[in-house]
Each structure stands twice: as C-alpha cells, then as structure tokens.
C-alpha cells in the first residue's frame, strides 16, 4: 500500500469509518461463509480493503431485520424520524473530508469533486428530514352526506435499494433519505466496486441514532442478493440506479411479487448548441455536462450537437478547454479527470472511439489511453461524428465528446430524440422562444438550458422512455415510497333526519 493511501485509510480507520463487514439488524457481520472481496483504488490498482462478500442468505436476514424494524420505525412520529435524519445529515457533513477521501480512493473521482458529492449526497438527507413532516393526506368530498372520504399516505414497507459505483454516496442518500422519511426501512446493496462509502454512511446512520434494522447493507454476489430482494414478499419496493439492461431484469423480477419499482437507468444525453448561443457559456456548460466524473454519469452529455454556423468556432474553443483538463490520481493537485472505474470501462471507450474513427470521425484531441496507464483515458473530442456511430447510439460513459453538426432546429430535435433513452438533455441558446419550443419538444426527463450541471436535491430527477420510471429528489421523490390508502368512514348522525337540523 502506498504511503499516501495508507495515511488516508489509517485516518478513516481511526474515525471508525473504514467498515468492511455488512450491516444487518444494527450488527456488523461477516459473510456467513467467510468470503471476502477486494476493493481497489482504480487510480493505482492497489487493494484498499477486503469486504464481506455476501449473498442470498445474508440478504434474507437483512430483509427480516428491515421487516421487524419497519413495525416500530413506521410508527414513530414524522418529527421523530426527521430528527434522526437531521442528525445523520449533521454527521455526514462533519465527516465531509474523510468521506470525500473514501470516495476518491474507491471510485477515483478528483477529491474536490468527491467532497462535492458528499455535499450533494448529504443534502438529500437534510431535504428529506424536512420533507418527512409534510406527508399530507387529502379529504375528498363524499358521495353520501353522512360519510367522509380521505386519503391516508402510508409507507410502502421494506425497500431494496440497489446503487451504482459512480456516486457511491449520493445515489444511496437519494434513495434512503425519502424511504426513511416516509417510514420505510431499507436493505441497501451498494456496488461491489464502491462499498466502503456505503458502509461508512451506514455507520454514521447508526451513530445518528437511527435504530438497528432500519438501514441494512449487504454487498457481494449481485445476482444472489438481487434474487433475494426480488423474490421476498416482505420487500415491497425496489429502487435502482444503474444500467438499462439490469433495470429491465429487475423490473421483470419484481413482477413476481408485484413490487413498486423505481428505476434511474442509462441516458444518451444530447447537448445542443445553437448558432445564437453565447460561445463561452456553451463551451463551459458542455464541458461540465460532458466531463463531470470523467464522463461517468447517466446525465453526462453523450452527443454534442452543434449548429453549422457556430460549429468550427465551438469545436476550436471546446477542444482548447478540454486540453486544459488535468488528468491524474484524484488526490493530485489540480486534477479534474480521474481514471475510469475498471478495465471493462476503458475497453468500452476504446471500442467506441475506434468504431467512430473507422466510420469517418476525426480525432480533434485525445483518442487513446493516457500515458499514466491503468484505466486513464485522454479527454477526447471527435468531430464529423454521425448518428449511426456507436458513440451516438449508446452511452459511452467516459471522457469522449463526439461533435455532430446540424442545420436546423427541427433536425436537432429529431437527432436528439432519435434514441430509446430520455434522461437528460442540454440546450444552449439565447433565443427565449426557442428555449421553450425546444425544451418542450425534447423527450427527456431533465432539460438544462444554458447550464451543464442540473442535479439538485430540490428538483425531480428521472427519465422517460427506457431511461427509467419514477422520480428521485424533491417532494416527488417521497411518492415512490408511499401508498395512498383510501378510507371511508361514517362521520356522524344526520341530525336533520331527527328534526334537529
């Protein structure tokens, strides 16, 4: 282990945040067969820790714990649940630096961005601590004079939360925050690549006084854990962020026990730059939308569509800006582009670039593995990209910006919508009418206008078409963990029938 990494892990161990066992019913537990899996630092390949490699049996026990805890957690007052969440938020913020370091260690994103993720992730807990108190029902005008009809919102039950490696904290808090606020309990399955942040966050939940069994964490054998969550009748909700392929399997699997499902799946975000855009705003916005987390987010711009009148100028200014992005180990000074998560991700990026070049795309910048080795890839700009190339059809999930040229607004809208995905889109224009027209014509769940960073805890996040179901964040994120129970009661005697009117 390098000196740098050892000092970071020592500090995390000292603060009790370097957890390596699963959390079931408030107890830290090894895999029942003693198996472990290695967690690597993608920047160096070093092993950070060995964590319990769990499967179906441990997941079943985690579900039982969550099921038992649901009885009491769901019966607390909203104010009591809110207090626990608020305390958890305070602890996440108090450990912002260490959590940021942990994210950089296991995920690779630059430290500043990792600390930014802690801020972003913690805000979901703060927001839902507040939202817990606003689960309002409704009174419906009754159809008979002596009856009253009302809608009572009830927590759905135990939720299984399956989360990805690209945001090791924020994708957990965005799910667990609203779940707990509504009175649900959870079994979290973090990615095998980045379980350490999840475990540290769970440790802080315990320290915040969130009762044992309310938050459980199991990681290891993904198919076995997934099966246990899907087949259990005690699990009433599956919430997932990850690939569209896995999302479809989960949706099919959840049908067996008719669970509520929310899915935040892959995107193929168009970033449309019109002739009338402010060049600087467009370059900076596209840069942020494309190169956040080295291109490894579902909302990253996947295709940059540029109108012919501004194409050359934009390509030039954008390439210059991309050239300045410093690549390296996320702990390095001034680094803004870390490694890709693993070899498979690197090979995918390579294949996509090779496919584009073989079909006529021109490499303006980058286009190959970085000299740093490992899974580093050079920030890349491709021009002369066409809609039929792999980089246009599928999510590249890496630091590659393909530029496509268009002539008219109609053509841009057609190109943008010509995909099964519908998560995020971006437009750059100074024309107000166009802003409304194009935003509304885009078949996407999120549209950024003259803005490349659009994620926030206060706005709904989610996709249309094959990018998913449901919304996370904002007040709408609560609906995913609530059932609407309709109730009818005989309200009172009808006095006027007795002449007492």
The residues assigned a catalytic role are: 264, 298
Per CB under 6 A, the segment of 73-81, 84-92, 291-299, 337-345 that binds ligand SIN is 291-299
CB of 472 to ligand SIN, least distance (A): 8
Within residues 223-242, the interface with ligand SIN by CB under 6 A covers: 241
Residue with Cβ nearer ligand SIN (18 or 286): 286
> If binding is defined by CB under 6 A, does position 457 make contact with ligand SIN?
no
* Cα gap 243→163, rounded to integer Å: 10
Q: How far is the CB of 422 from ligand SIN (least distance, A)?
A: 14
Percent composition of the chain: helix, strand, coil (DSSP 3-state, to 5): 40, 20, 35
Question: Which lies closer to ligand SIN via its Cβ, residue 58 or residue 395?
Answer: 395
Shortest separation between residue 295's beta carbon and ligand SIN, angstroms: 11
What long-range pairs does 112-120 form, CB within 8 A, spacing at least 24?
Answer: 112/336, 113/292, 113/293, 113/330, 113/336, 114/330, 117/167, 117/168, 117/169, 117/170, 118/92, 118/93, 118/169, 119/93, 120/170, 120/455, 120/457
Instruction: Output 269 or 391, the one with its CB closest to ligand SIN.
Output: 269
In angstroms, give the least distance from the CB of 38 to ligand SIN: 24
Pick 84 or 121: Cβ nearer ligand SIN: 121
Q: Under DSSP, is residue 384 helix (H, G, I), strand (E, B) or coil?
A: coil
- At its nearest, how many Å lie between ligand SIN and the CB of residue 171? 6
Determine the Cα–Cα distance for residues 457 and 178; give it in Å rounded to an integer.
11
Q: How far is Cα 226 from Cα 62, in angstroms, rounded to an integer?
A: 13
Smallest gap, in angstroms, from Cβ of residue 27 to ligand SIN?
31
Q: How far is the CB of 108 from ligand SIN (least distance, A)?
A: 15
- Closest separation between CB of residue 453 and ligand SIN, Å? 8
Of residues 157-176, those binding ligand SIN (CB under 6 A): 166-167, 170
Nearest-angstrom CA–CA distance, 175 and 178: 6
Interface with ligand SIN (CB under 6 A), residue from 58, 61, 113, 264 = 264
In the complex, minimum distance from the CB of residue 183 to ligand SIN, in angstroms, rounded to a whole number: 25
Which of 44, 104, 262, 297: binder of ligand SIN (CB under 6 A)?
Answer: 297
Distance CA 38, CA 213 (A): 26
Q: Which residue is nearest to ligand SIN (CB)?
A: 455
Among 69, 298, 382, 416, binds ligand SIN (CB under 6 A): 298
Helix or strand run (H / E) with residue 110: none
Is residue 263 within 8 Å of 247, Cβ to Cβ? yes
- Quickly count: other Cβ atoms within 10 Å of residue 103's Cβ: 29
What is the DSSP pairing of strand 27-29 with strand 22-24? antiparallel
Q: What's the CA gap between 248 and 466, in Å, rounded?
A: 9
CB atoms within 10 A of CB 281: 16
Structure tokens at 151: 């809608």
Complex with ligand SIN: residue 82 or 173, whichever CB lies closer: 173
Report d(CA 33, CA 130) in Å as an integer. Answer: 41
Q: Which stretch binds ligand SIN (CB under 6 A): 31-39, 102-110, 231-239, 296-304?
A: 296-304
* Cβ closest to ligand SIN, residue 140 vs residue 453: 453
Q: Which is nearer to ligand SIN, 104 or 107 (CB)?
A: 107
Rounded distance between C-alpha atoms, residue 22 and residue 35, angstroms: 12
445 in Cβ contact with 426 (< 8 Å): no
How many Å from the N-terminal Cα to the C-terminal Cα in the chain? 85
Whole-angstrom CA distances from 220 to 20, 143, 188, 383 are 11, 54, 12, 41
CB contact at 8 A, 26 and 173: no
In this chain, which stretch among 92-100, 190-198, 293-301, 356-364 interacts with ligand SIN, using CB under 6 A? 293-301
Q: Select 109 or 236, whichever has its Cβ closest to ligand SIN.
A: 109
Q: In angstroms, rounded to a whole number, what is the distance separating the alpha carbons of residues 221 and 392? A: 33
CB-CB contact of 203 with 83 (8 Å): no
Identify residues 366-385 at the interface with ligand SIN (CB under 6 A).
none
Cβ nearer to ligand SIN, comparing 69 with 179? 179
User: For 37-104, what is the HEC assignment?
Assistant: EEEECCCCCCEEEEEECECHHHHHHHHHHHHHHHHHHCCCCHHHHHHHHHHHHHHHHHCHHHHHHHHH
Q: Taking contact as CB under 6 A, which single stretch among the options 5-13, 51-59, 85-93, 295-303 is the one that binds ligand SIN?
A: 295-303
Contact set with ligand SIN (CB under 6 A): 166-167, 170, 241, 264, 297-299, 455
């Amino acid at each position: 282990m390098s000196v740098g990494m050892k000092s970071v892990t020592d500090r995390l161990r000292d603060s009790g945040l370097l957890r390596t066992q699963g959390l079931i019913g408030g107890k830290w537990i090894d895999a029942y067969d003693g198996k472990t899996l290695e967690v690597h630092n993608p920047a160096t390949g070093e092993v950070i820790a060995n964590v319990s490699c769990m499967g179906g049996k441990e997941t079943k026990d985690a579900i039982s714990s969550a099921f038992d805890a649901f009885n009491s957690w769901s019966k607390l007052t909203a104010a009591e649940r809110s207090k626990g969440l608020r305390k958890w938020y305070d602890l996440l913020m108090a450990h912002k630096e260490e959590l940021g370091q942990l994210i950089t260690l296991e995920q690779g994103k630059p430290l500043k961005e990792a600390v930014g993720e802690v801020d972003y992730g913690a805000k979901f807990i703060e927001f839902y601590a507040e939202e817990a108190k606003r689960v309002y029902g409704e009174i419906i005008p009754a159809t008979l004079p002596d009856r009253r009809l009302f809608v009572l919102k009830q927590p759905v039950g135990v939720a299984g939360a399956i989360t990805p490696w690209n945001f090791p904290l924020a994708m957990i808090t965005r799910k667990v925050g609203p779940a707990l606020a509504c009175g649900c309990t959870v079994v979290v399955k973090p990615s095998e690549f980045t379980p350490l942040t999840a475990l540290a966050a769970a440790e802080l939940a315990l320290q915040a006084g969130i009762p044992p069994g309310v938050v459980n964490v199991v990681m290891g054998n993904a198919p076995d854990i997934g099966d246990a969550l899907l087949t259990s009748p005690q699990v009433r909700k599956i919430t997932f962020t990850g690939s569209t392929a896995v999302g479809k399997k989960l949706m099919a699997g959840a049908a067996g026990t008719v669970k509520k499902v929310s899915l935040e799946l892959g995107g193929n975000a168009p970033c449309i730059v019109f002739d009338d855009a402010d060049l600087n705003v467009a370059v900076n916005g596209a840069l942020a939308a494309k190169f956040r987390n080295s291109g490894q987010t579902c909302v990253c711009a996947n295709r940059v569509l540029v109108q012919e009148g501004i194409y050359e100028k934009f390509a030039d200014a954008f390439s210059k800006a991309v050239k300045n992005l410093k690549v390296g180990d996320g702990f390095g000074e001034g680094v803004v582009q870390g490694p890709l998560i693993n070899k498979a991700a690197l090979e995918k990026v390579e294949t996509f670039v090779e496919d584009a070049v073989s079909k006529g795309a021109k490499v303006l910048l980058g286009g190959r593995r970085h000299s740093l080795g490992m899974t580093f890839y050079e920030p890349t700009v491709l021009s002369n990209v066409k809609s039929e190339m792999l980089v246009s059809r599928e999510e590249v999930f890496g630091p590659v910006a393909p530029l496509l040229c268009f002539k008219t607004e109609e053509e841009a809208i057609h190109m943008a919508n010509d995909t099964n995905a519908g998560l995020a889109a971006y437009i750059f224009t100074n024309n107000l009418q166009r802003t409304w027209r194009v935003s509304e014509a885009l078949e996407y769940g999120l549209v950024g206008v003259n803005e490349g960073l659009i994620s926030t805890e206060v706005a709904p996040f989610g996709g249309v078409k094959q990018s998913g179901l449901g919304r996370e964040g904002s007040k709408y994120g609560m609906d995913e963990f609530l059932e609407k129970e309709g109730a009818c009661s005989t309200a009172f005697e009808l006095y006027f029938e007795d002449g007492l009117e």
